[in-house]
Amino acid sequence: MNLTDYKGILVYIEYENKSICQISLELLQEARVLADIFNEDVIAVVLGYDIKDLADQCVYYGADIVWYADNILLEEYLTEPCTDALEFLVKRINPSSLLIGSSYQGRDFAPRLAIRLGTGLTADCTELGVKVLDDGTADPNQGILMTRPTYGGNLIATIVCENHRPQMATVRSSMKIIKDTTREGIVNEFSPLLKKSRVKILETIIEKTTEKKISEESVLVVGGNGVGTESMFKELYSLAKILNGGVGVTRSLVEKEWAEHRIQIGQTGTIVRPELYISFGVLGAIQHITGMENSSCIIAINKDRDAPIFKFSHVGIVGSTEKILPKLIERLSK
């Protein structure tokens, strides 16, 4: 087959407790944007048992075509059955691209699937794009431009899969989710040939928490190494409460054990896109910038006037956290 014979952007749909995961909904939006540029369909694939309703929901979030496999062997995620089912579908429908969430599941099966399909895999992408020609249109022959940090986050690389299809990427998307219940699409069932997995799940433990994920917060107060003392860092929670938002951190504060990894923002943490991002003592290393640069409004406070984060901020304030944070909390409390 020629590369032009491959059509459609396929999105792997991950879910928990019969609810589609945030990352998969975001990827459907990302695929919708790309598909409209390339004039292709967005195709979703759902694997599981008794999941027809999830397949129907994918249409509301941007899918034109949905394929679902309903099999007891797919009831719980296991690497081998999942890979077998996806290999079966991809070789049947020949999509031009396959987008997978950069989650534990995605990172697990994506390399194995890429080997079976004889194609490349760009892991942990932070951005997907297209090559724009001189006339302002997208180059249909170039394919998707896949961007990810490299060399320990010190450089940003843009990768193109020129010679093989489908183009594969695990993506840490943060697209705004749009639901349209008036959309219509085609929902098909397929029956892959599956073997019983050699791995058996002994127990599934579901973490229970009432806290929102930082990727879901519309306001984030973020602390970096320049925040000063641990007691001053804890004051960020007071400001976040006033602003009805959450707290995020850079990797340095996780390494100091002041905060848990789940609220780390950046290349090795979470990609966020809040309406308001306000940081204290965040220098602006590229590892962190890749995780928040698409925030709607970025306010940076740092005593180092040459801090890289000022290049990305909409409002920059030169000053120390110790002087500014208490006054800000006092003023907003009124």
- In a domain? residue 93: yes
pLDDT, one tens digit per residue, over 274-299 is 999 999 999 988 888 878 888 889 99
- What order of strands is seen across the sheet that includes strand 9-13? 121-125, 167-171, 97-101, 9-13, 42-48, 65-70, 186-189
CATH number of residue 255's parent domain: 3.40.50.1220
CATH number of residue 154's parent domain: 3.40.50.620
Domain extent, residue 302, equals 214-333
Rounded to an integer, the average pLDDT of 155-179 is 82
What is the DSSP-derived secondary structure letter of residue 3? G
The CB-side HSE value for 160 (13 A sphere, CA atoms) comes to 12
Nearest to 317 by CA among 326, 305, 327, 308: 305
Full-model pTM? 0.77
According to the model, what pLDDT value does residue 41 have?
A: 92
Same domain flag for 228 and 115: no
- In a domain? residue 251: yes
According to the model, what pLDDT value does residue 179 have?
A: 87
Q: How many residues does the chain have?
A: 334
Same domain flag for 50 and 167: yes
Same domain flag for 172 and 253: no
pLDDT, one tens digit per residue, over 222-281 is 999 999 899 999 999 999 999 999 999 999 999 999 999 989 998 778 888 899 999 999
pLDDT, one tens digit per residue, over 196-211 is 888 888 887 776 666 7
- In a domain? residue 200: no
Report whether 241 contacts 226 (CB < 8 A).
Answer: no
SS3 of residue 310 by DSSP: helix
Nearest to 188 by CA among 29, 45, 86, 12: 45
For the chain, what is the mean pLDDT?
Answer: 88
Same domain flag for 148 and 226: no
Same domain flag for 164 and 254: no
- In a domain? residue 140: yes
pLDDT, one tens digit per residue, over 102-156 is 888 898 999 999 999 999 898 888 888 887 776 766 666 668 888 887 766 566 7
SS3 of residue 190 by DSSP: coil
- In a domain? residue 67: yes
pLDDT, one tens digit per residue, over 24-58 is 999 999 999 888 888 889 999 999 999 999 999 99
Same domain flag for 221 and 147: no
- Dihedral of CA atoms 301, 307, 312, 314 in degrees, nearest 10, equals 30
According to the model, what pLDDT value does residue 194 have?
A: 87
pLDDT at position 221 over 90: yes
Nearest to 117 by CA among 150, 152, 84: 84
- Total domains in the fold of the chain: 2
Q: What is the 3-state secondary structure (H, E, C) of 17-59?
A: CCEECHHHHHHHHHHHHHHHHHCCCEEEEEEECCCHHHHHHHH
